[in-house]
Structure 1
Amino acid sequence: MRRIILLVLAICSAAVFAKAPSQTELDTLAQQLLVKYELLSAKPDTCPAPHQKQCYLSRLTFSTPFDANSQQWSIYFSQLMPIYSTDSSQFTITHINGDLHQIKPSSAFAGFKQNTPISIEFYSQESQITRAEFMPNYILASAGLTSRVINSTKTAIDPDTKLELQPYLAPFLTYEQLQTSNDDATPWMDAEYLYESESRPILNTPPLSLIPKPVALTLLSGEAVDLSQGLNLQLANDIDQVQLTAAIARLARFGIKQHSQGIKTTLKLDLAADNPEAYTLKIQHEQITISATSSAGIFYALQSIAGLVSLDNLTIPALNITDAPRYEFRGMHIDVARNFRSKTFILNTIEQMAAYKLNKLHLHLADDEGWRLAINDLPELTEVGAKRCLDLTEQRCLLPQLGAGLDSQSAVNGYYSQNDYIEILKYAQAHFIEVIPSLDMPGHSRAAIVAMEARFNRLIGQGKSVQALQYRLVEPADKTQYSSIQHYQDNTLNVCLESTYQFIDKVLDEVNALHVQAVVPLKTYHIGADETAGAWVDSPSCRRLQNQQPALHSFNGYFIEKVSAMVAKKGFKVAGWSDGMNDVTLKSMPANVQSNAWATLSDGGHEVAHRHANQGWDVVLSSPDVTYFDFPYQSHPQEPGNHWASRAIDSKKVFEFMPDNLPAHAEIWRSVNNHHYSADDRKTMRTKPFIGLQGHLWSELIRSDRQAEYMLYPRLLALAERAWHKAPWELDYNGQGAKYDQNTGHFNTTLKQQKAADWQRFAALVGFKEFAKLEQAGRFYRLPSVAAQQQSEGLDAFTLYPGIVIEYQNSLGNWLIYDDENKATNVKQVRTLSQRGIRKGRSLAVK
């Protein structure tokens, strides 16, 4: 009996101890709880089962300045790679869905004691090694209370660089935190490494050229031309000046205004050229003449005038330019779905794309983490699917993936109203840019699925079962278990339901209606069609479909073929990512198809691109190891970005891209782990050309417009250079097939020297001219890191671009301007300054 009484007392005592916190207690804990995340190793000696080959080891530490005894709470946090093994008796960690995890106290948890840290070590799948991949905004929750974001897990802004800081994340100091495995040879790109590996600028003034480089630029005799006197535009009758408004406005911002006393500038559509964007530009003291085949050519000629000048010098020599683009498709892909980008950001990006003659904006409007376009009659798509918060039922919002926190009004949430989208379409058209909308399906569709389930529940509650089923995207009887590439268990449309295609048909018609209203025709629709992971295996409707069509080769292929036919019937060109497009049968596809070839070059990416081009599709190159701008500029812990396809994509690498000869990069580049690789093209020769090139800004790790601009500029300029201009040093494609590796030597010394000289031209234009233009436009471009070495006579330092002011920090902690004529000693750190000195670049220590 005594034992029973003691047991009852113990249970009662535990129940009292485990009482739920009050709202005040929860709020206080959220304000005061200190959370510290440490990446211990990205390549631990051993990994627990079932992921023995690859894992990473981390530690979370909690501490409070007071005692806190409640056990009835949870912490929800985003962890890109699922946690599968935990070494803690006091806490459990559960993977919820996607990147969302839950920490709960166990029965052994005795509460937080004042200033006494408690740690959890855990193992996660695969690798997660750049600081940007460690998400903020941990949420403290308890049943019946208002959840709070834990203050110590919020981000901050560095006052000097204006870049995001992560106070909750411990410093990365060792190669154990930089390299993903024992065979990973990724270098730590510190100041010393940059000094040994980067190209030192040699030009002291900007060359007479522009970005992108024209086909031909010839100096003429005669006086220099002072463009500050403005332009007196003389338009032929068949030219609509309204179409040139954006280019004229850019010239005016540079000080080249339009007025009757300016240089007579004749614009004519009389150029005999096959290329519809071709133009000639002749600039002389008394006369400027522009000839083109279309208004687009006139527009680009005016942008070339803007490209020729520096903001502090509007005088140029008399010259003649003959020009036409290399590719018809020169694009930029912007993901606004994972984390939202404001309408202002899109409009600003359109301006800069047009300034450098890019002409396609691939707008990624829906994915797992967000639906970003208002659709008539389907309000849940934006009322639920455009915001994230902590509602585990997901009837009000999506789960708070990617560290979204609780504020549904924050910058990572949101959508474009129909008027917003129409404004974007018109603004793009005014800059000769085609908008290609994409609402990713059938994978990457979780936002749509959740929103349509919320719609289903609403209408069922109103007794409207027929309407509820009309656009439902899932089948309750489908018991398929799968995990997507982003670890979702429920992000794929059921491709065997007729309601899925009714939904797509509805969305297509509504998107097209917005284009009609904007008087901007919808020409191309990108269906996505990528990354479907094992869905539909146990779907009754799919089993029925398979029985009805025994020859059905692939459910994903079936979906793509059916949706492609819908798109083509409506008069639009269909586009999709190459991996999904591999699943179709060619005879079942429309005649007019675009494929974005995105396999990494070091993994045989040229094979997919060649195969799709050879079968008559329009291939847009989307190689992640050079065109994905959400990857870091350099492999350094402080440099934000993803890591799976490349550890470093700086503007020089983008500039060096030879898009017509994909396998040749095996001679000059290395794999993601910094190893040499080979590319054998002897069995996969390309017989038809690519139509273009596209840069990509995925947004999983990008939480602000400012950070997005940091990732875009100046890489966008290098992208424009390669999309518009084919350089003489680019290795011609061998149509007979060839093998390439570090020893084959096709890219010979002469070509290397030509490339080096061309880079010096490009770098000087960026450093002396284009950074200032970006700054004038208010764009948050990345300031280059400083290459530096402490030598016996003092510090030697430079940046990739000339004309950039370098600062150094002396032994007293003071920052001073670097002068290479009077070399400093005892230097601690180096950094760069923006054109107006307002912003500082990322500092690097000097050894």
Structure 2
Amino acid sequence: MKNKTIYLSLLTTFSVSSYAEHTQAELLQSIATQLQIQHEFVDSNPKQCPNELEDCYLSKIHLQYPEDLKPKTNDWNIYFSQLTPVQVTHSSEFSITHLNGDLHRISPTSNFHGFKAGEPITIEFYSYGSQITRSEFMPNYFVHTDGLDAIVIDSTRTALDLETGLETQAYLMPFTNEQTQFKLSETDNTQWASAEQIYASTESIAENIDISTSLIPQPSSFKLISKQVIDLSQGINLTLSGLNKGAIAAAINRLEQFGFYQNDNGIAVNITVDDTLDMDDEDYLFSSQASQISIQAKTDTGAFYALTSLAGLVQLGTKSVASVEISDSPRYSFRGLHIDVARNFLSKAFLLKTIDQMAAYKLNKLHLHLADDEGWRIEIPGLPELSNVGGKRCFNAPDKCLMPQLGSDITGSSQSDGYYSVADYQDILAYAKARHIQVIPSLDMPGHSRAAIHSMEARYQKYLAKGDPETALKYRLVEPEDKTVYSSIQHYNDNTLNVCMDSTYNFIDKVIGEVQSMHSKAGMPLTTYHIGADETAGAWINSPACDILREKEAKNIAGLHTLNGYFIERVSAMLASKNIKVAGWNDGMGETRPENMPQKVQTNSWSLLFEKGHIATHKQANHRWDTIISTPEATYFDFPYQAHPKERGNHWASREISTRKVFEFMPDNLPAHAEFWFDKRNLPYISDDSQNPLAAGIRYKGVQGHLWSEMIRSDSQAEYMLFPRLLALAERAWHKADWELDYDYSGKTYDRNSDYFDAQAQQQRELDWQRFASVLAGKELAKLALADVFYRIPTVGAKIDNGYLKVKTPFPFIAIEYQQKTDESVKDKNATEGKWLPFKPNTKVSGEVKVRAISADGVRKGRTLNL
């Protein structure tokens, strides 16, 4: 009670109109608790951009204080994250300065003489590029003055909606104008995903589809043996031959979660693993009959996948499965998911839960993005600064943390902060191995390396202070004499390793050695290491060390476009000497000389299809490199599900990536998507494959989904973005559908009129989608809910037709609610106005109507749409 009294007393002191009684600390506290900040997104496509910018957008920040407040001095500042740099500020009382990355500073000018009670001060400004979704406008503004700790301004914090669990942003004014707050250009044809638009663009799903004989991902060969169902009510009785029970324990555990326990009285499940069988390692044969369930596989992995298929046949609430025969084989050997835990940290518990779901749908590669500009997320023995400094963000303490970015908290202990200890990482590896998933670590270099650079600078200063310059320099990553001025794609001026210094390679060798050791001790040898290697433009131009390297190694670097190619080739050789395959993003890997690269190389191709991205993909695949399709328009799950401001996500590659769009992806034939997909402004494009086709017989190694975390600050937000889209990715990674258009090695040109993907293929795709959507909604959403996965509940398409409410969802079997509000003059006093009611066919409505869907377990509500 005493502390509460002191707090209330301070609030009373803060609200007085005269600054004279305020200390500087009280001023900061009063601003943090009472200043109301409203960020207004004004125009996504102004008629004229300042400074001859090609793209810009207009915003306003409104500052309002409840009482008169006249600071004695103007030596305080407000800081906030703005993804793209502010270019021009229109305000006589405040200026905005871009500092580094996305961090900006709002400073009072000499014309600022204080706040008047309740009267807002508005700062208008233009920013470079574009922002279009609400999640791109970051929270957690904070106030600071020299000598005191920074404090987050309360009015800029986020909250959670209690019914949906989704983030709310009270500091951000509503987005309501479809022209000025939604369009990227005058030609932008993107449609706002209103209830009416969703209804018009959503195909109805047949309600009589038999899902008992189907599962996700679809097997390569599937046959119904009989109409007799297999009784699992007494559980399962396992008999194993040629394998250890531990190899399938995770699959057994999943069956137990569904209520099917091991029991001597249960149906016989006979599993045989025989390495002499004529099949590949991940293949299996499955047969369910009244007398027994039989499984045959060449390896433990095949047996594991067979049991996951048994779980896939199960519909919760039933105690039987269909009598079927399955002969199954994966489409790709690499079926991956990339998770970025660097930008914003995601918990170990989240990773373990996600690994469970990956295994359930036969994904087998977890690409962990453990380091980037905004964070280093793995403990490296001998280099504690990497995790102690690089693993958290706070303000004005470069020897203790990284600077705030991406709307992060500034305490250094929020969920966005953190790292995996050696023990944590080994636990993740062991957990993945038990589910037949390989973990591929990624510590992005030489660009995207600000966390590493600043952590090693803290180390450098520590040992310098101890009088040990030799140790200090051993792992230093930057050259003080390098006067190069550059700006990365995320607007950092200090995020690129100096690739011309031996200490850089000492550091990399140390890190790789320690990571390799962790893998070895966890029983998962490090066989592939992803170096990133992308986005380094502008670095090393005025570096003395690089001048020396260019002169000394002139013959060895001849033919390289940039020194990034030199770096990749050198690190690739280092990895090869440790029997580790190098992997990297295709833009960086394209800067190398293929003849100087190791025999085994992995490239992740993320080039945009509507920007002729198939050309770069084909070129690297033709090097005989293991090419992993990472096409953003279909595999980047940090983009919105729908084109709506409230849907979380980025937008630079696509305004919407629905579960259906992922399902429709044809990874083997990239240029063909020009027939039915659009660019990021929803306009048609052309893919000319006549000059750069794949060489005859070349095939891709696999496909990978991606979750970048710039706009993800919690585990639940990450799950929302992954699920249920991840299931559609698993479908395409494991199974090639009959309707997919085979790649034509002769090279063709595709556009909206080329019609290679003909009407018959379109009809087949529609029928297959209806099957997939029915299985997803009828079986898998309930399983996700049972596992406490925060999957996205679909928004409801709706319209009012002659007074009757009509609804559609992308998946069947989804429970829907509606709410209506009628005019006071005609309101029925007995009506249930304002209450959410279950939707039923022939529901008559009037007035203002809202609709929403409900989760499979009936607990959560989906995002509401108004009609």
Calculate the TM-score normalised by the size of structure 2.
Answer: 0.94
Q: What amino acid is the match of 1:843?
A: T
* Residues in 2 aligned to 1:814 and 1:520: alpha-carbon distance in whole angstroms: 54
**Bigger Cα displacement from structure 2, 654-663 vs 24-33:** 24-33
* Residues in 1 aligned to 2:168 and 2:283: alpha-carbon distance in whole angstroms: 46
Matches within 5 A, 1:492-531: 492-531=496-535
CA displacement, residues 547-596 of structure 1 (integer Å, 9 cap, x when unaligned):
11224222000000000000111011110000000100011100000000
Deviation at 1:23, TM superposition (A): 1.3
Matches within 5 A, 1:784-799: 784-799=794-809
* Residues in 1 aligned to 2:233 and 2:333: alpha-carbon distance in whole angstroms: 33
* Residues in 2 aligned to 1:332 and 1:616: alpha-carbon distance in whole angstroms: 22
Identity, % of aligned positions: 53
Name the residue aligned to 2:129: 126
Pairing 1:837–2:866 present:
no
Q: Residues 120, 265 of structure 1: CA spacing in aligned structure 2 closer, same or farther, 3 A cutoff? A: same
**SS of residue in 2 equivalent to 1:685:** coil
Deviation at 1:713, TM superposition (A): 0.3
Pairing 1:815–2:825 present:
no
Matches within 5 A, 1:340-351: 340-351=345-356
Name the residue aligned to 1:11: none
CA displacement, residues 98-136 of structure 1 (integer Å, 9 cap, x when unaligned):
000001100000111111100000010010111110000
Deviation at 1:48, TM superposition (A): 1.0
Equivalent of 1:49, from 40, 48, 51? 51
Deviation at 1:317, TM superposition (A): 2.5
* Residues in 2 aligned to 1:219 and 1:189: alpha-carbon distance in whole angstroms: 40
**SS of residue in 1 equivalent to 2:642:** coil
Q: What amino acid is the match of 2:375?
A: G
* Residues in 1 aligned to 2:499 and 2:65: alpha-carbon distance in whole angstroms: 50
* Residues in 1 aligned to 2:328 and 2:163: alpha-carbon distance in whole angstroms: 41
Q: 1:139 touches 1:148 (CA, 8 Å); kept in 2? A: yes
Calculate the TM-score normalised by the size of structure 1.
Answer: 0.96
Pairing 1:109–2:112 present:
yes
* Residues in 2 aligned to 1:221 and 1:131: alpha-carbon distance in whole angstroms: 52
Equivalent of 1:603, from 611, 615, 634? 611
* Residues in 1 aligned to 2:846 and 2:704: alpha-carbon distance in whole angstroms: 45
Q: Residues 315, 824 of structure 1: CA spacing in aligned structure 2 closer, same or farther, 3 A cutoff? A: farther
Pairing 1:100–2:103 present:
yes
Q: What amino acid is the match of 1:87?
A: H
Name the residue aligned to 2:79: 76
Q: 2:627 touches 2:700 (CA, 8 Å); kept in 1? A: yes
Deviation at 1:273, TM superposition (A): 3.4
Deviation at 1:825, TM superposition (A): 4.0
Name the residue aligned to 2:398: 394
Deviation at 1:826, TM superposition (A): 3.6
**SS of residue in 1 equivalent to 2:774:** helix
Q: 1:222 touches 1:284 (CA, 8 Å); kept in 2? A: no
Deviation at 1:20, TM superposition (A): 8.5
Name the residue aligned to 1:704: 714
**SS of residue in 1 equivalent to 2:354:** helix
Q: 2:80 touches 2:140 (CA, 8 Å); kept in 1? A: yes
**SS of residue in 1 equivalent to 2:60:** strand
Q: 2:805 touches 2:842 (CA, 8 Å); kept in 1? A: no
Matches within 5 A, 1:486-565: 486-551=490-555, 552=557, 553=560, 554-565=562-573
**SS of residue in 2 equivalent to 1:223:** strand
* Residues in 2 aligned to 1:241 and 1:334: alpha-carbon distance in whole angstroms: 30
Deviation at 1:836, TM superposition (A): 2.3
Q: Residues 163, 239 of structure 1: CA spacing in aligned structure 2 closer, same or farther, 3 A cutoff? A: same
Equivalent of 1:765, from 767, 775, 778? 775
* Residues in 2 aligned to 1:789 and 1:625: alpha-carbon distance in whole angstroms: 29
Deviation at 1:17, TM superposition (A): 7.9
* Residues in 2 aligned to 1:627 and 1:787: alpha-carbon distance in whole angstroms: 24
Q: Residues 118, 218 of structure 1: CA spacing in aligned structure 2 closer, same or farther, 3 A cutoff? A: same
Q: 1:341 touches 1:412 (CA, 8 Å); kept in 2? A: yes
Deviation at 1:328, TM superposition (A): 0.1
CA displacement, residues 349-393 of structure 1 (integer Å, 9 cap, x when unaligned):
0000000000000000000000000001111101110000112x5
CA displacement, residues 180-209 of structure 1 (integer Å, 9 cap, x when unaligned):
121221110111111111121112455220
Pairing 1:673–2:673 present:
no
* Residues in 2 aligned to 1:726 and 1:771: alpha-carbon distance in whole angstroms: 23
Pairing 1:158–2:161 present:
yes
Pairing 1:379–2:380 present:
no
Equivalent of 2:277, from 247, 272, 293? 272
Equivalent of 1:244, from 243, 248, 270? 248
Name the residue aligned to 1:27: 29
CA displacement, residues 301-352 of structure 1 (integer Å, 9 cap, x when unaligned):
0000000010111312311111010000000000000000000000000000
Deviation at 1:657, TM superposition (A): 0.3
Matches within 5 A, 1:253-268: 253-268=257-272
Equivalent of 1:727, from 737, 745, 753? 737
**SS of residue in 1 equivalent to 2:51:** coil
Q: Residues 678, 567 of structure 1: CA spacing in aligned structure 2 closer, same or farther, 3 A cutoff? A: same
Deviation at 1:827, TM superposition (A): 5.0
* Residues in 2 aligned to 1:620 and 1:134: alpha-carbon distance in whole angstroms: 32
* Residues in 1 aligned to 2:23 and 2:174: alpha-carbon distance in whole angstroms: 33
Matches within 5 A, 1:238-387: 238-270=242-274, 272-387=277-392
Deviation at 1:21, TM superposition (A): 4.5
Deviation at 1:19, TM superposition (A): 11
* Residues in 2 aligned to 1:341 and 1:693: alpha-carbon distance in whole angstroms: 23
**Bigger Cα displacement from structure 2, 140-149 vs 545-554:** 545-554
**SS of residue in 1 equivalent to 2:50:** coil
* Residues in 2 aligned to 1:741 and 1:135: alpha-carbon distance in whole angstroms: 38
Q: 1:528 touches 1:575 (CA, 8 Å); kept in 2? A: yes
**SS of residue in 2 equivalent to 1:480:** coil
Q: 2:219 touches 2:735 (CA, 8 Å); kept in 1? A: yes
Q: What amino acid is the match of 2:170?
A: P
Q: Residues 74, 225 of structure 1: CA spacing in aligned structure 2 closer, same or farther, 3 A cutoff? A: same
Name the residue aligned to 2:650: 642
Name the residue aligned to 1:4: none
Name the residue aligned to 1:584: 592
**SS of residue in 1 equivalent to 2:738:** coil
* Residues in 2 aligned to 1:481 and 1:222: alpha-carbon distance in whole angstroms: 71
* Residues in 2 aligned to 1:209 and 1:203: alpha-carbon distance in whole angstroms: 15
Name the residue aligned to 1:573: 581
* Residues in 1 aligned to 2:21 and 2:638: alpha-carbon distance in whole angstroms: 45
Q: What amino acid is the match of 2:96?
A: I
Q: What amino acid is the match of 1:62?
A: L
Name the residue aligned to 2:5: none
Q: What amino acid is the match of 2:426?
A: I
Name the residue aligned to 1:753: 763
Name the residue aligned to 1:448: 452
**5+ residue gaps, structure 1:** 1-15
* Residues in 2 aligned to 1:188 and 1:291: alpha-carbon distance in whole angstroms: 50
**SS of residue in 1 equivalent to 2:226:** coil
* Residues in 2 aligned to 1:222 and 1:835: alpha-carbon distance in whole angstroms: 28
* Residues in 1 aligned to 2:85 and 2:657: alpha-carbon distance in whole angstroms: 27
**Bigger Cα displacement from structure 2, 825-834 vs 428-437:** 825-834
**Bigger Cα displacement from structure 2, 803-812 vs 218-227:** 218-227
Q: What amino acid is the match of 1:261?
A: N
Q: Residues 20, 141 of structure 1: CA spacing in aligned structure 2 closer, same or farther, 3 A cutoff? A: farther
**SS of residue in 1 equivalent to 2:406:** helix
* Residues in 2 aligned to 1:19 and 1:145: alpha-carbon distance in whole angstroms: 18
Q: What amino acid is the match of 2:506?
A: Q
Deviation at 1:801, TM superposition (A): 0.5
